[in-house]
Amino acid sequence: MINRIVVKLFLLTSGLCLLILASIFVGQTILFKDYYANNKMKQLSEAVDLFKLDYQKLEDDRDRQELEQQFYQENNAWIAVLDEQGYIKGTKDFSVKLYNRFVSENSKINFTEESISIPIYYLENMYDDNEQIAIFKEKEKQVIEIHGLEKDGVIYPYELISSTEESLYEAKTPFYMLDGGLDNVDYWKNNLLASAVNKNVENKDTVKQILYGRIDEVHIPDDNSLLYATPLSNRQFLDRIKGFQIDLIFGNVDITVPQELTYEENGINYRMLIDQGKDSNGDTIYYFTMASLQPIDEAIEMMEDYYIYIIIGVILLILLAAFYFSKKIASPLLKINRTAKRIANLDFAERVPVKSKDEIGELSKNINFLSDTLHSYIQALQQDIEKERQLEMTRKNFIAGVSHELKTPLSIIKSCIAIIEDEVAKEKKEYYFSAMNHEVDRMDRLIVDMLELAKFESGTYKMKMEVFFIDELINNVYQHLQINAQNKELTVDLQLQPIEVVANEHWIEQVVTNFLVNAIRHTPESGQITISTVEENATVKVMIENEGNPIDPNQLEKIWDRFYQGNKEQRSKEGTGLGLAISKNILKLHDVDYGVYNTEKGVCFYFYLNKTI
């Protein structure tokens, strides 16, 4: 079973299709995610380059916010422009100004009346809602405690505590407003920076400070549109910006070349692209971009579930298609194989149907051509073998006939010679010489007739066709045999028409001669012979009818045999017994009908010839 071509093609096709299906499945579930991420970052990098050019052309913060919104809508990625301190450009208006403050640094407490502005836009609860903004605006002239990190003269706050029960000079526990809990305080915190401070306590480039003082001024823009800007609308994106600021503070990042980072949160992968540039004032700025890979993750998860049904359906289609393909391809091959087997058994009857113009169709044509060629060659070989057999049979018949038919004349000649040598009956010497001469002539005719008969029966003789008038040929034959008819006082009635025929004139003359000689021989004295021609469509029927005794119906077919002995006495004296056999073979070579039948008066021999077109 496994050796059948249908099974092999089915297994091969199914295996190939299943391999392709498996490759697609692996590619989409494993490789496609990386391909999507890499392609996404490539497109994102190109989009950021265009964003840089457009951003440098804009001066108004609102226009820049709209550009960021447009970038998000077109690329499904967040983008923000940061200043050299890691703050989002356009958010420095969110700040508090302190004066008459205490500063705790390295366990030392100092007091200063100098005012200082502290940015507050990275503190949590700052941008949750308008209620928080309103609360912060009410903090003017109240005491506030800020925990922050100082680097290069810049304070980075990570905690802010405010209480209405405390005053700058009445506070019993400065710098410890949280010791009593969160019940009587308002509290804001940058959790990421606070955590980083605890992890980098030994960093020498930064100094941890606590500021305690009265709020001189709270600066929050009346236009709160920034709260709904793209960077601030996504908590993960804002946290990544804060994380980048922390890296800047502690020197954990080098943005001399664009950086591509990976981040995962809650099972969702994010890709970040950070690039450095200069603003119109020559200050350092950072282009911070983040894209979520959640859509492709969700799509892949959905596809993994959906692939169960897809794979089942596709496998069924593959099996059906493979089976159909196998049958479609194998069917003509099986027919070719079956035909080839029959050709091998010398059966050329079956043909391979040619239903296509491809290689299989070409092969089918070649098989049919091979079958026809072999068939023709085998037929030719069979014909050659048959001819060889006929030649061999003719040779044997010739030898047997010659040896048989020459016995009688040779015996007669031998007897005559013996009588002459013994000088018996000298007065009949001339008679014996005449008898020997007659037998020699008869042997000569016999040998000539047998050679002609052997030539016709060999199957190798080809008739050369000519055009002539049959009436003229019959008249010529009759003129030569007229004296024989007159000797028997026979009446010959010629009913001839001037019709042109196609045949071998010499051998048709021989046939007419044989038939007419035979008629003269078997017609009684004073009898009648009728020779006639009749047109029948495209042929001419030649008939030679003579009066006399009819032929025994059982002998009608045998008279065409060689050495037929209907009348032994007459045959031995006047003929060789080969005339009708020779005529039969001549007419066969002309491929025409011939025959003999009894009539009311005697016997009629006939044959047909083709007329000229």
- Neighbouring C-beta atoms of residue 444, cutoff 10 Å: 11
Q: Is residue 381 domain-shared with residue 405, that is, in the same domain?
A: yes
343 inside domain: no
CA distance 104 to 213: 11
pLDDT of 101 > 70? The answer is yes
pLDDT band at 447 (very low <50, low <70, confident <90, very high): confident
Q: What is the dihedral of CA 84, 87, 93, 94, to 10 degrees?
A: -150
**Per-residue model confidence (pLDDT) at position 173:** 46
- Neighbouring C-beta atoms of residue 538, cutoff 10 Å: 10
Q: Convert 134-190 into a string of H (helix), E (strand) and C (coil).
A: HHHHCCCCCEEEEEEEEECCEEEEEEEEEECCCCCCCCCCCCCHHHHCCCCCEEEEC
Q: Which residues are CB-neighbours of 587 under 8 A, at least 6 positions away?
A: 511, 594, 607
Q: Is residue 215 domain-shared with residue 251, that is, in the same domain?
A: yes
**Per-residue model confidence (pLDDT) at position 297:** 63
CA distance 64 to 90: 9
Q: Is residue 143 domain-shared with residue 179, that is, in the same domain?
A: yes
CA distance 150 to 197: 11
Q: Which residues are CB-neighbours of 492 under 8 A, at least 6 positions away?
A: 478, 482, 485, 528, 529, 530, 531
pLDDT > 90: what percent of the chain? 15
CA distance 563 to 559: 9
CA distance 419 to 536: 59
Q: Which residues are CB-neighbours of 285 under 8 A, at least 6 positions away?
A: 81, 82, 83, 84, 89, 276, 277, 278, 279
180 inside domain: yes
pLDDT band at 565 (very low <50, low <70, confident <90, very high): low
Looking at per-residue pLDDT, the higher value among 450 and 529 belongs to: 529
pLDDT band at 408 (very low <50, low <70, confident <90, very high): low
pLDDT > 70: what percent of the chain? 80
Looking at per-residue pLDDT, the higher value among 30 and 341 belongs to: 341
Average pLDDT, the chain: 79
Could you tell me which of 228, 230, 246 has the C-alpha nearest to residue 290?
230
332 inside domain: no
Q: Is residue 195 domain-shared with residue 121, that is, in the same domain?
A: yes
pLDDT band at 347 (very low <50, low <70, confident <90, very high): confident
Q: Look at the chain and report how many structural domains it folds into.
A: 4
Q: Of the given ranges (40-49, 169-178, 268-277, 312-321), which has the lowest mean pLDDT? A: 169-178
142 in Cβ contact with 160 (< 8 Å): no
490 in Cβ contact with 528 (< 8 Å): yes
Grouping H, G, I as helix, E, B as strand and the rest as coil, residue 330 is helix
CA distance 53 to 433: 143
Q: What is the mean pLDDT of residues 424-436?
A: 73
Q: Is residue 108 domain-shared with residue 168, that is, in the same domain?
A: yes
350 inside domain: no
DSSP bridge pairs for 99: 214
pLDDT of 2 > 70? The answer is no
Looking at per-residue pLDDT, the higher value among 458 and 265 belongs to: 265
Looking at per-residue pLDDT, the higher value among 50 and 415 belongs to: 50
pLDDT of 284 > 60? The answer is yes
Q: Is residue 262 domain-shared with residue 158, that is, in the same domain?
A: yes
Q: Is residue 158 domain-shared with residue 272, that is, in the same domain?
A: yes
DSSP bridge pairs for 396: none
Q: Is residue 121 domain-shared with residue 161, that is, in the same domain?
A: yes
CA distance 52 to 5: 65
- In single-letter form, the type of residue at position 335 comes to K
582 inside domain: yes
CATH, residue 385: 1.10.287.130
Q: Is residue 115 domain-shared with residue 252, that is, in the same domain?
A: yes
Grouping H, G, I as helix, E, B as strand and the rest as coil, residue 225 is helix
Backbone phi, psi, residue 464, to 5°: -95, 115
Q: Is residue 254 domain-shared with residue 270, that is, in the same domain?
A: yes
Tell me which residue range forms the domain holding 555: 462-611
pLDDT band at 572 (very low <50, low <70, confident <90, very high): very low
Tokens of 567: 């009348």
50 in Cβ contact with 74 (< 8 Å): no
Q: Which of 93-107, 320-334, 501-515 has the highest mean pLDDT?
A: 501-515
199 inside domain: yes
340 inside domain: no
160 in Cβ contact with 146 (< 8 Å): yes
Tokens of 545: 């009818």
pLDDT in tens, 142-193: 788 888 888 888 889 988 888 755 444 444 445 555 555 556 677 788 888 8
CA distance 520 to 530: 11
Of 461, 496, 531, the residue that ends a domain is 461
Q: Is residue 230 domain-shared with residue 124, that is, in the same domain?
A: yes
72 inside domain: no
CATH, residue 468: 3.30.565.10
**Per-residue model confidence (pLDDT) at position 197:** 85
Of 295, 319, 337, the residue that ends a domain is 295
pLDDT in tens, 494-550: 999 999 999 999 889 888 988 998 899 899 999 999 999 999 989 999 999 999 999
Of 461, 486, 501, the residue that ends a domain is 461
**Per-residue model confidence (pLDDT) at position 530:** 95
pLDDT of 286 > 80? The answer is yes
Looking at per-residue pLDDT, the higher value among 169 and 30 belongs to: 30
pLDDT of 369 > 50? The answer is yes
Q: Of the given ranges (61-70, 380-389, 411-420, 467-476), which has the lowest mean pLDDT? A: 411-420
Q: What is the mean pLDDT of residues 64-69?
A: 87
Could you report how far apart the first and last alpha carbons of the chain are, in Å?
64
Q: Of the given ranges (145-159, 364-378, 564-578), which has the lowest mean pLDDT? A: 564-578
Q: Of the given ranges (156-160, 363-367, 532-536, 599-603), which has the lowest mean pLDDT? A: 363-367
Looking at per-residue pLDDT, the higher value among 377 and 605 belongs to: 605
pLDDT band at 424 (very low <50, low <70, confident <90, very high): low
**Per-residue model confidence (pLDDT) at position 406:** 64
Distances (CA, A) of 206 to 110, 145, 201, 250: 18, 19, 9, 8
**Per-residue model confidence (pLDDT) at position 50:** 92
77 in Cβ contact with 71 (< 8 Å): yes
**Per-residue model confidence (pLDDT) at position 450:** 67
Q: Is residue 381 domain-shared with residue 315, that is, in the same domain?
A: no
pLDDT band at 448 (very low <50, low <70, confident <90, very high): confident
Backbone phi, psi, residue 293, to 5°: -95, 15
CA distance 551 to 244: 133
DSSP bridge pairs for 284: 278
